[in-house]
Amino acid sequence: MCAGCGVKIQTEDKNKAGYTPSSALEREILICQRCFRLKHYNEVQDVSLTDDDFLRILNELGNKKGLVVKIVDIFDFDGSWLNGLQRYVGQNPILLVGNKVDLLPKSVKRQKVIQWMKKAAKDKGLKPVDVHLMSAETGEGVLEAADLIESYRNQGDVFVAGCTNTGKSTFINRLLKEFGAAEDLMITTSNIPGTTLDMIDVPLDDGASLYDTPGIINPHQMAHLVGASSLKVMMPRKEVKPKIFQLSSEQSIFFAGLGRVDFLKGERQSFVVYMSNDLYIHRTKLEKADHLYETQLGDQLAPPTGDELTEFPALKRKEWKVEAGKFDIVYSGLGWVTIDGPGAIVASYAPVGVEVTIRPSIF
Ligand code: GDP
């Protein structure tokens, strides 16, 4: 067992919990690579867990007392939403934190996003004590997040929970730096009774602990369909610059080879694409769209590209009747298209398994 987190040590799979290089097996005190890195580089590494592992950890949360900090990626709100948390946390308060606010255009009113998050949380059955926005990367709102945690935890423990890729590790590492915990950071064996311990325990100065619950991978995230270099193109890294198109019916927009929207029927109106600035966005006539995809996927329409193409799922089509007003068609993990007009019939295309949803526009 790992002396840091209690997980079973294994030497086979780097991406699974408990991985330790075999060369390290001779060390006197055995800790897994994740804990090793946390301890020596002050860096938290993700490991994949099965759903069973994860449910077990969630159940442990209900038996402990403390504040649950739920992190969600506001650019991929649905795709990064950790389901079922409310059911598991028992009486523990939840602070909902939307991360990556730096990706939203500056013109977007933060208060509006918070209102939208509150409503979305309610619709999903979550009752947070508070909702906060931050950027773990730039530091915007991080100190305020720390203050909120401090006031809601009532000197109790803190559990940070979220899907992988929401920025949970970036946030925790930043908190550790802000509070100068880095020097005396010690991995201690967690004291959750009677279970295997999979949470990383960071001692706080009043004797309570901050636990980093392992991130769960959401299999519907677009991020799992492409390799690392395509991911760089696909995942926005900086403030997203909206791309505005005035479309007539029977026109289409491609999001590289990752998705597409067809404007089938309706008056000429605006389609605004909120996706990574580096992603190739291509407008074409509807009648040419299928042929273009067949012949240009991997070339002009890339990513996906190279080896990714063999495993890349076919695009699934879905028709939408968009009411008058301003609506977002959301492509999980990719971004969204805001349609603003007197109503329209559109078709969305996304890889099989990647969710497409519609919502009243956030801004
Ligand atoms: P975890 O899997 O939830 O622990 O997420 P990480 O901390 O590893 O972050 C996932 C990715 O999101 C990394 O590429 C980070 O650089 C990036 N990231 C984390 N926080 C932010 C943020 O506030 N803004 C932006 N733009 N990117 C972020």
**Residue 228: Cβ within 10 Å count:** 6
Rounded to the nearest angstrom, the distance between the alpha carbon of 168 and the centre of ligand 1 is 7
For atom 6 of ligand 1, the residue with the nearest CA is 167
The band of 121, judged by pLDDT with boundaries at 50, 70 and 90, is very high
Residue 38 clears pLDDT 90, i.e. is over it: no
Rounded to the nearest angstrom, the distance between the alpha carbon of 28 and the centre of ligand 1 is 34
User: Where are the domains positioned within the chain?
Assistant: 22-212, 224-360
For atom 9 of ligand 1, the residue with the nearest CA is 167
Residue 132 clears pLDDT 90, i.e. is over it: yes
At 183 the pLDDT is: 41
Pocket of ligand 1 (CB under 6 A): 46, 99-100, 102-103, 135-137, 162, 164-170, 215, 237
CATH code given to domain 22-212:
3.40.50.300
Give the rounded percent of residues in the chain with a pLDDT score beyond 70.
Answer: 80
At 152 the pLDDT is: 94
Q: From the alpha carbon of 166, which atom of ligand 1 is closest?
A: 3
Rounded to the nearest angstrom, the distance between the alpha carbon of 136 and the centre of ligand 1 is 7
Q: From the alpha carbon of 136, which atom of ligand 1 is closest?
A: 23
At 182 the pLDDT is: 42
pTM of the model: 0.81
Q: Render pLDDT for 165-208 as a digit per residue (tens, 0 to 9).
A: 888 888 887 877 766 554 444 333 333 222 233 456 666 767 77
For atom 24 of ligand 1, the residue with the nearest CA is 100
For residue 333, is it left (φ>0), alpha (ψ between -120 and 50) or beta?
left
User: Which tokens sit at 251?
Assistant: 């026109």
The band of 274, judged by pLDDT with boundaries at 50, 70 and 90, is very high
Q: What is the radius of gyration, based on Cα positions, of the chain?
A: 22
